[in-house]
């Protein structure tokens, strides 16, 4: 079964009907039909919350998290090993620390990252990426 790690960029694009939202919708549809498995780091889950809350308010952020919980995405807690892996990526590549958790989770699970965030181009040789736009 194919495994996907959903980046906050992709999920925000989906909820705000931005470019690439159709690609994300297709992947979420496959998750709902148990054709693939979906994962997200709690760090990236929190990233969704703070981005939406900052831009549209806490009420909208709560609504988005409620909608997100309707999809079969396994939220992965951050442990020492995942943090170590993310920190190692951050030390080697100039990308956001939260993004390093998504990438580290991909490495751990041998999963494909779903994103449109061009920062991840720096990691194309390390992880599989499904670009949404």
Phi, psi of 127 (to 5 degrees): -130, 155
Look up the pTM and report it. Answer: 0.95
Half-sphere exposure (CA, 13 Å, Cβ side) for 133? Answer: 13
Tens of pLDDT, residue by residue over 63-121, are 999 999 999 999 999 999 999 999 999 999 999 999 999 999 999 999 999 999 999 99
Choices 3.40.50.2300, 3.40.50.1010, 3.50.50.60, 3.40.50.300: CATH for 2-131: 3.40.50.1010
Tens of pLDDT, residue by residue over 71-85, are 999 999 999 999 999
């Amino acid at each position: 079964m194919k495994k996907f790690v959903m980046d906050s960029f992709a999920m925000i694009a989906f909820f705000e009907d931005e470019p690439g939202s159709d690609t994300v919708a297709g992947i979420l549809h496959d998750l709902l039909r148990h054709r693939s498995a979906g994962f997200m780091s709690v760090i990236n889950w929190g990233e969704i919350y703070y981005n939406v809350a900052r831009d549209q308010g806490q009420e909208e952020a709560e609504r988005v998290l409620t909608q997100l919980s309707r999809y079969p995405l396994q939220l992965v807690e951050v442990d020492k090993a995942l943090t170590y892996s993310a920190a190692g990526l951050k030390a080697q590549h100039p990308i956001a620390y939260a993004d390093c958790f998504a990438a580290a989770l991909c490495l751990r699970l041998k999963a494909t990252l779903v994103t449109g965030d061009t920062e991840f181009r720096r990691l194309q040789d390390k992880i599989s990426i499904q670009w949404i736009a």
